[in-house]
Amino acid sequence: MPARPRVPDPADGRLQKFAYDLRLLGADKASIGRIARHPETTVSRAALYAALSGTRLPTRATVGTLLRWWAGSPGDERPAEPENLYEEPWWAWIDRLHPEHEGRQLAVEWRARYERLVRDVLFDRDYRPKAPRVTIVVPPEQQRFIDELNVLISETGLQDDQWLLFGTRVLRVERYLAGEAIPTDAMFEWVVDRCLSFIPVMDDYMERLDRLELFMQLARTARARDRRIARARRTEQET
């Protein structure tokens, strides 16, 4: 998400390797800013930057968008045919490239690589043993994230009418502000995008988003730390 994401270490796991190679693919090609401004781009600038950090699994829509510009080229695509209900929209552009287009096979190979990455990451998550539940107080790091998020929401002018801002997801946002949960990456990007759509001017756009995401990541780390301490104490008491 930051304007200059930390360069991933390709030796530090599958996600880092994927992000590192994706960066290399996009070197000297369309910038993130240009891609984000394109009228057909449906994912946020923040999500596009985040895909290059290697810290989390990017969505298919995000990877498909980057590959559309870095493996293929929107200008080389043939006109879209009637929508195929069985076709995944984030990969539909591949079939719009001419069969002899030099980027078509490359796009197919990257799509297959991404799908393998998804399977591997989800497999690891499913088979990770679940830790026992414990109750903790809101860590200072999480409170800092809450305070910063409150500031962003207040700048929309809708802090007292958040249902107008977040609609049916307002209860989720209330849980984040109450310290009961931390948003997923996808929900974080959605909340930020909703807020920014109501803020006409933000000169320090990327700096603010960079700081807010940093606070969110620190909050996650702090909650994991405090839960680990609470579990250790409970184990000591039980023994």
**C-alpha triplet 104, 108, 113: angle, nearest 5°:** 145
* This prediction's pTM: 0.56
C-alpha distance from residue 37 to each of 40, 52, 135 (Å): 9, 18, 44
CA distance 46 to 122: 23
- Alpha-carbon distance of 176 to 172, in angstroms, equals 7
Compute the chain's Rg from CA coordinates.
Answer: 20
User: Tell me, what amino acid is at 211?
Assistant: R
- Tokens 């849980």 label which residue? 175
The predicted pLDDT at position 207 comes to 75
Give Cβ neighbours of residue 78 (< 8 Å, ≥ 6 apart): 96, 97, 98
Do residues 205 and 193 lie in contact, with contact meaning Cβ atoms separated by under 8 Å? no
Cβ atoms of residues 164 and 206 within 8 Å: no
Over the chain (239 residues), the average pLDDT of each successive run of 10 is 62 90 92 89 85 87 94 86 60 88 91 90 64 82 95 91 90 94 85 84 71 88 88 79
**pLDDT value at residue 141:** 94
What is d(CA 56, CA 63) in angstroms, rounded to the nearest whole number? 12
